[in-house]
Amino acid sequence: MGKYQNINTLKPEGIENKKAYLIGAGIASLAAAHYLIRDGHMKGKNITIIDETNVSGGAMDGCGNAEDGYVARGGREMEEHYDCTWDLFSKIPSIEEPDRTVLDEFRELNLNDPNYSKCRVIENRGEKLNFDSLGLDEIHVKQLTKLFLATEETLGAATVKQFFDDSFLETDMWLYWRTMFAFETWHSVVEMKRYMHRFMHLMPGMSKMEGLVFTKYNQYDSMILPLKKWLESNNVVFDYNTKVIDLDMDIDEEKKTVTGIHLIRNNSEKEYIKTDKNDLVFFTNGSMTENSTLGSMYKAPKLDRSEGGCWGLWKNIAKKDKSFGNPEAFCSDIDKTKWESYTITAKGSKMAKLIENYAGRSPFDISKTVTGGIISIKDSNWLLSFTVNRQPQFKNQPKDVIVIWAYALFPDNEGDFIKKKMSDCTGEELLKELLYHLGIDEKNMKEYIDESIVIPAMMPYITSQFMPRVKGDRPSVVPNGSVNLAFLGQFAEIENDCVFTVEYSIRSAIIAVYTLLDLDKNPPEIYPSQYDIRVIMNATKTMYSGRKLPAESIIKKLLFNTSLEGLI
């Protein structure tokens, strides 16, 4: 966006006569509501956010207590160049310090406590592995370079496994990559390419998780709650327990207009909202956490294969026009899009001391980085990873309690200690498997179990956004000819940005609002790291892990005694 674009918009003509309906209460809809008010000059009372659940935040969740256990289905890694995210939260007051913004307190926290990992990978029941390099050979560097230079059109629907040599899938880089971003070998290599471009500036710190920034608490308390409170203070209407099942559309050769919204309130009451070209409709099409289920200490979560309401609505809309995307590309193979996570609530010092052995820091050091990101267990049949973020993770969390989050990429595999599929395991069994890999013998596990509550979460669609797809499978944020409909979130197409990020959802919201209201303002620019020669050189040096670069001596001679001498 740049300072030149950071303007106060003019009030759109007729905005007082418009209403906005936002389907889904995740971060994309909340952000869209904010920009409708801030830059679109719409009154909050004319904005309604509709959700089939009874809570806002979507995948950015966090709830519970120390007695019953805390739950966070996942977390989002962020970085300095999330310019849409920071633009949004530069205007949202902090709950704890109302005279400062969420961005103010977030930036200060991460400057004073920069993130880094002291242990990225373990195996052999707790042995810490060296993680100083990415473990790439010349052939792997060539393949990564080839991917970097390829066009999305030539890659098409190719998977990671189809693109790379099998030996690449055994490298440390692939282990770091897949566990950090939750990539599978059957996922889209186009999405991997986008990640390479988008985060190339972070490659030198990839193995140590340097350059990442994290919230003080869980992401619901730190980001969703203050944003929701700001929206409520501006009289935005939240319509919970309400499921939208279809949209009526008037479609001709040039224009597509939503003329009505069909919904069911409280699972029984049917309702219809008539709309016209002046009413705006924003739909978060698709969901990573749709049909999620929770287990307990003594019960495994069920895998819900039924069609979720969000996916069903997108399918109904997609039938009306090909420009509305192809949901089947993302939601039709649950066995390739699911994985399971679990949250451990542990009392006392026993678990804290065990974590400190790997983190090098005490979890009881208030508001300080603990593990610095996930620690992955290389020889785990489930490919298990765990993390302990800054404690407390919840505002009501007692001082003698720590919260640990773990997940695995292969929930259908049998465990190394628990001889069952991960998906069939209770919370207690999941904890035992983790303890086993942390070097705790079976006879000593009970004292850890007695201090812990474990709540597993099964998510059928959690990596659906990574499934192979081609142009048109994801609809444009505002499809050609759309008069009053915009798509939001991880399944709307934004050129050059990458999914499974908070930034992607918020960017979609800004694009949607600015386009439908025809505002004379552009969204913040996507950080162009792939065009920065300094970034490219640093990434290349990282891939070679200290080995001499091709033609390095020649380049040094050419640059000697010039202003570019320090480039290599």
Paired with 200 in beta bridges are none
- Among residues 21, 52, 77, 448, the one annotated as catalytic is 77
| Phi, psi (deg, nearest 5) at residue 383 | 50, 65
SS3 105: helix
DSSP symbols for 166-183: GGGGGSHHHHHHHHHHT-
Q: Is 77 a catalytic residue?
A: yes
- Edge-first strand listing for the sheet containing 20-23: 237-239, 47-50, 20-23, 280-284, 485-488
Closest CA to 459 of 182, 85, 241: 182
Paired with 281 in beta bridges are 21, 485
CA–CA distance, 353 with 346 (Å, rounded to integer): 11
Give yes or no for a contact between 152 and 463, defined as CB atoms under 8 angstroms apart: no
CB-based contacts of 319: which residues, under 8 Å, 6+ apart? none
- Among residues 195, 358, 461, 514, the one annotated as catalytic is 195
Q: Is 195 a catalytic residue?
A: yes
Three-state SS sequence of 494-530? CCCCCCCCHHHHHHHHHHHHHHHCCCCCCCCCCCCHH
| Tokens 């608490």, located at residue | 217
- Edge-first strand listing for the sheet containing 339-347: 127-128, 121-123, 375-377, 384-387, 401-408, 339-347, 452-459, 293-294
CA angle 87, 90, 95 (to 5 degrees): 140
CA angle 24, 27, 28 (to 5 degrees): 70
| Tokens 């990640």, located at residue | 195
Closest CA to 341 of 37, 70, 53, 44: 70
CA–CA distance, 290 with 307 (Å, rounded to integer): 9
Peptide bond into 114 cis (omega under 30): no
CB-based contacts of 366: which residues, under 8 Å, 6+ apart? 391, 392
DSSP code, position 121: E
CA–CA distance, 391 with 397 (Å, rounded to integer): 9
Task: Compute CA distances 104 → 81, 86, 87, 234, 369, whole Å.
Answer: 15, 10, 11, 21, 18
Q: Is 344 exposed, middle or buried (0-12, 13-18, 19+ CB in 10 A)?
A: buried
Residues recognised as catalytic = 77, 195
